[in-house]
Amino acid sequence: MFHSEDCPGRVLYRHVASRWAGLIVLQLWPGPLRFHRLRDALPGISEKVLAQNLRELVRDGLVDREVEPTRPPQVTYSLTPLGGELAARVHGLLTWVGDHAPEVLAARERHDRAS
């Protein structure tokens, strides 16, 4: 798979596998969120980087952006159907990582001691 270096699949994968994109999509999986909720759910992300990633995700048709023309404005982000499918896969990967991280750390310690 991905036998060319810049085929569409590889390009998209590089974005999905970026530091934050997967985590953002995952946060939106249970339901829509506003900008600051999203920010608070992702400790360590800066507003700039969150905004960048959201723009990319909207551009790629994975996330919807809705603006309520109130004062002050309210902006809500939600997954598109396409984004929802992606989120399911990301969720599978992340829950596994979350569940097995301790095993991996144990293996790492074992390895470090042995060497």
Partner DNA sequence: CCGTATCCCAGATGATACTG
Partner DNA sequence: CAGTATCATCTGGGATACGG
In the sheet that 63-68 helps form, which strands lie side by side, from edge to edge? 33-34, 74-79, 63-68
| Helix 21-28, helix 8-16: angle, nearest 10 | 70
Judged by beta carbon, residue 23 or residue 35, the one nearer a copy of itself is 23
**Closest C-alpha among 90, 94, 69, 68 to residue 79:** 90
Residue 41 CB, nearest approach to DNA (Å):
12
Residue from the set 16, 41, 49, 94 that interacts with DNA by CB under 7 A: 49
Provide the b/e sequence for 62-82 (b: ≥16 CB within 10 Å).
bbbeeeeeeeeeeebbebbee
47 interacts with, out of a copy of itself, DNA, none, CB within 5 to 8 A per kind: DNA
Does residue number 73 form part of the binding site for DNA (CB under 7 A)? yes
Which among DNA, a copy of itself, none contacts residue 40 (Cβ within 5 to 8 A by kind)?
none
- The whole-angstrom separation of Cα 88 and Cα 12 is 16
Q: Which member of 31, 62, 68, 72 binds a copy of itself (CB under 8 A)?
A: 62
Q: Using CB under 8 A, list all residues that contact a copy of itself.
A: 1-5, 7-9, 11-14, 16-19, 22-23, 26, 43-44, 58-62, 82, 85-86, 89-90, 92-98, 100-108, 110-112
